[in-house]
Amino acid sequence: MPETAELDPEDVKIVTLARSALARTGAQEGAAVRDTAGRAYTGVTVALPSLALTALQAAVAAAVASGATGLEAAVVVSGSGSVDAASLAAVHELGPAAPVLVADQRGNIRDVLRAVT
């Protein structure tokens, strides 16, 4: 897996944003996505009685709510090291070719997930 130092600077930026969102809230996961205009959006796990979203779903929702029509890349920071199918689907609906970087809480990339074609 690529080390953070080997990533594109724009990917390093969304890794940092996802880690910051996680640290700021103490949620289970933090995530960030970058749209095709280069704007970044963050999200964290939402676990309310009336609403449940993964961090990646929350970040995609923030992007869509801001008018994003496509995604270039996404990252999820989690201790589990896994990403559920619904979260991947949310990213790939807007960015079929967008890689999803899976990082640990230190920002080390553990996996890169791509849409199955």
Q: In this predicted model, what pLDDT tens digit does every residue of 14-47 receive, in sequence order?
A: 999 999 999 999 888 999 999 999 999 999 999 9
Q: In this predicted model, what pLDDT tens digit does every residue of 84-103 receive, in sequence order?
A: 999 999 999 999 999 999 99
Contact 77, 103 (CB under 8 A): yes
Q: How many domains does the chain have?
A: 1
What is the pTM assigned to this prediction? Answer: 0.92
Q: What burial class does residue 38 get, using C-beta atoms within 10 Å of its C-beta: 0-12 exposed, 13-18 middle, 19+ buried?
A: exposed
- Structural domain span for residue 69: 4-113
Q: In this predicted model, what pLDDT tens digit does every residue of 47-64 receive, in sequence order?
A: 999 999 999 999 999 999
Asked if residue 81 has pLDDT above 70, the reply is yes
> The CATH number of the domain where 43 resides is what?
3.40.140.10
